[in-house]
Chains A and B, each alone.
Chain A
Amino acid sequence: DIVMTQSPDSLAVSLGERATINCKSSQSILYSSNNNNYLAWYQQKPGQPPKVLIYWASTRESGVPDRFSGSGSGTDFTLTITSLQAEDVAVYYCQQYYRSPCTFGQGTKLEIK
Chain B
Amino acid sequence: EVQLVESGGGLVQPGGSLRLSCAASGFTFSDHYIDWVRQAPGKGLEWVGRSKNKANSYAIEYAVSVKDRFTISRDDSKNSLYLQMNSLKTEDTAVYYCVRWRSGAADYWGQGTLVTVSS
Secondary structure dominating the interface of B: strand
Given contacts A101-B61, A101-B64, contact A59 B104 (CB under 8 A): yes
Q: Judging by beta carbons under 8 Å apart, are A55 and B105 in contact?
A: yes
Spell out B's residues near A (CB within 8 Å).
Answer: 35, 44-47, 50, 61, 63-64, 97, 104-107, 109-112
Q: Judging by beta carbons under 8 Å apart, are B47 and A93 in contact?
A: no
Q: Judging by beta carbons under 8 Å apart, are A95 and B104 in contact?
A: no
Total number of residue pairs linking A and B with CB closer than 8 Å: 53
Q: Judging by beta carbons under 8 Å apart, are A103 and B104 in contact?
A: no
Q: Which of A51, A55, A59 meets B109, CB within 8 Å?
A: A51
**Shortest Cβ gap from A100 to chain B (Å):** 5
Other 13 A-B pairs with CB < 8 A, given A101-B61, A104-B45: A36-B104, A40-B104, A40-B105, A40-B106, A49-B109, A50-B45, A51-B109, A93-B44, A93-B45, A95-B45, A102-B35, A105-B44, A107-B45
Residue in B64, B97, B107 with the greatest tally of chain A CB atoms within 10 Å: B107
Q: Which A residue's beta carbon lies closest to that of B4?
A: A49
Q: Judging by beta carbons under 8 Å apart, are B44 and A52 in contact?
A: no
Q: Judging by beta carbons under 8 Å apart, are B97 and A49 in contact?
A: yes
